[in-house]
Structure formats: C-alpha cells, structure tokens
Amino acid sequence: MKNQGKKNVRDEQMKSLEEIFEAKIARDEKIEPKDWMPEKYRKTHIRQISQHAHSEIVGMLPEGNWITRAPSLRRKVALLAKVQDEAGHGLYLYSACETLGISREELYDQLHSGKAKYSSIFNYPTLTWADIGAIGWLVDGAAIINQVPLCSTSFGPYARAMVRVCKEESFHQRQGYEIMMTLCNGTQEQKDMAQDALDRWWWPALMMLGPTDDESTHTEQSMKWKLKRKTNDELRQQFIDQTVPQADILGLKVPDEDLKYNNETGHYDFGEIDWEEFWQVVKGHGMCNKERISARKNAWDNGEWVRDAAVAYADKQAEKDVKEAV
C-alpha cells in the first residue's frame, strides 16, 4: 500500500511535468536543455540534430572535391568559404546536440559505424564544375525548404542554430544559381555542362525532401513537437514549384517528361520518383557511400594523435600553473 502510494505520487508528478512541457510547446515557448523533457523528445532530437550535423560535415566532401580545381580565384575563395560554412554549421549543430547529454565522440562513433544517417544526396559524385553550381542551387535550395520551419522549432538551441544556418544557406543557394547562370550565358560546352549537372542532380534533390508521407515514420510526432511544420510531400511540391521557373530562366530543361504546370491546382505535376534508388543509397549502395564514410573516419582516426597531444599539452600547462601558484 505504501509503495502504491509513492507510485501514485510519482505518476502525478510526471503527469504534471508532461503537462507543463506540452503547454510550453503549445504556447510556442522554447524548451531549453535544463528543462524537463520526455525521454522520447530528447532521443528524437539527438537523432535529428546529429543527422543534420553529420549531413553538414559529410556534405563538405563532394564540394571539397572541387576546391583545388575551381576555375577562377574568385570561385575558389567562394567555394572554400562555403565549405567552411558547412563546417561551422556542423560545429554548432553538434554543440546543440551535446546539450542533450551526448558527447561529440559518441556522435562521431555513430556516424562512422553507420548507426547514424546523413543526407543521402552527398553519396552522389561531383563530376564537373557545374555540379558545384547545381549543388548550391538545388541541394541548398531543398535544404532551405526543409530548414526554414526549424527556425521556430521547439528546442531552443536547435532553433537558434537554424536561424544562422538558414541565412548562410540562402546565400549559398544564390551563389550556386549564379554559377549556373554564368555557365548558361557561356559557351555551348558550358551550357552542356550545366544541363548535364541538372540531369544528374534533379531527382536526388527531390528525394532529399524525404520519403512520401505514407512511408515517412516520424512525421506525426515531429509535427507535434514542431520539428516539422509541413509534410515531405508538401515540401517537395514547394521545391518543385519554386525551382522549375528558375530552370526556365536558365534555359535548362528539367529531366522529367511528365512535368507540367497544372492550372487547376496551381502546382506542377511531376513524374514518378525512383524510390528504389533512394532506398539503395540510404542502405549504403550509392556511388560514394564508402568513400564519404572512410574520408570522415580517416580524418578522425588520423587526427587522434593530434587531439591527444593537445590534451597532454593542456594538462602539462595546468600542472605548471598549479606549481607556480603554490
């Protein structure tokens, strides 16, 4: 009887904590790291924020592939700065994630072991300079559509990080589009290069918005916690509606025979997405999955002695300081 009484009190307390938490979210107030939160909320946020952080740092690799070969000094500097921005995004997203009680090392382990996912688009190869334009225009474009709603998501550190991420991403998108515009105003070879890049990146960019709503497992809960404001299919439609006119301005043809503006709905109808390809890449069978993970793993493993040295040196300095103080 006594135990039962205690349990009832605990249940009551838990219920009231949950009510306070739900009420805060309903009032659009932020949940901060020290606030009480349900375990599932914490886990879901670790999963999503770390997945996002991993995407930023793995995303550095396909674009990094063209830094040394950029065609002009101006483009080289802009690309370097862009890839550096991605590293910065990774840094503050990992930091936001760490506030939920997980270490950077654990997060990296999850990435390196394949337990954690990252955006599949980065498993496609960058084959020409135009791919750098196409990634900025399409991949950053799709990322912005995904991410703008996150600026008002319920978890404070994530929401604040996203405000800055989105500002920089929109700059990257304009930069990418400007690369495409320059190519499309150039020689036939440059136009062909731009068209080829669009042909290869269009469908993976559409897949980036996630599986169709009936296949998406996390949508309902995520909507409740304001981790999502629109469904994947709504976001995809928004991306297509926004991007097709941009392709028209460039004079490029979107590689979809079924793409057509629908006067009744006010949206573009589009063809079937090859979800088989999407799931294959998610499962690790894309052209660059292995290279991307091994590049990240090598950087981390080869850097171990450097990190150890920094810690050892700091310890020695601290010891010296103590001795001097004594």
Partner 1 sequence: MTNDNLIHYIYGIADNSLILGQRISELCGHGPTLETDIALTNIALDLLGQTRSYYKYVAELSPKDISEDDVAFLRTEREYKNVLLVEQPNTDFAYVIVRQYFFDVFHFMLLKELENSKNVNFQAIAKKSLKEVSYHKRFSGDWLKRLGDGTEESKLKAQQAVNDLWVYTDELFHMTANDKKVAEAGYGVDTTTLKVPYYETITALLKEATLDIPDTKYFQKGGKNGIHTEHMGYILSDMQYMQRTYPDMKW
Contact pattern from residue 35 through residue 64 relative to partner 1, giving x for each residue in contact according to CB under 8 A and a dash for the rest: ----------------------x--xx--x
Q: Which stretch binds partner 1 (CB under 8 A): 31-39, 150-158, 216-224, 308-316?
A: 308-316
Q: What three-state secondary structure class fits 6? A: helix
Q: Is residue 164 part of the contact set for partner 1 (CB under 8 A)?
A: no
Tokens of 35: 């606030």
* Smaller CB separation from partner 1, 37 or 58: 58
Tokens of 98: 């760490």
Residues 235-254 that bind partner 1 (CB under 8 A): none
Q: Is residue 111 part of the contact set for partner 1 (CB under 8 A)?
A: no
Q: Is residue 76 part of the contact set for partner 1 (CB under 8 A)?
A: yes
Q: Which amino acid is at 252?
A: L
Q: Is residue 181 part of the contact set for partner 1 (CB under 8 A)?
A: no
Cα angle 274, 278, 282; round to 5: 170
CA torsion through residues 14, 99, 115, 214, sign = positive
CB–CB of 288/122 below 8 Å? yes
CB neighbours (10 Å) of residue 260? 12
* Smaller CB separation from partner 1, 67 or 144: 67
Q: Is residue 186 part of the contact set for partner 1 (CB under 8 A)?
A: yes
DSSP 285: I
Tokens of 121: 């688009």
* Smaller CB separation from partner 1, 112 or 224: 112
Closest CA to 143 of 188, 71, 207, 225: 207
Q: Is residue 322 part of the contact set for partner 1 (CB under 8 A)?
A: no
Tokens of 71: 């065609």
* Smaller CB separation from partner 1, 40 or 69: 69
User: Which residues lie near partner 1 (CB under 8 A)?
Assistant: 57, 60-61, 64, 67-77, 80-81, 83-84, 87-88, 90-91, 94, 129, 179, 182-183, 185-187, 189-190, 295, 298-300, 302-314, 316
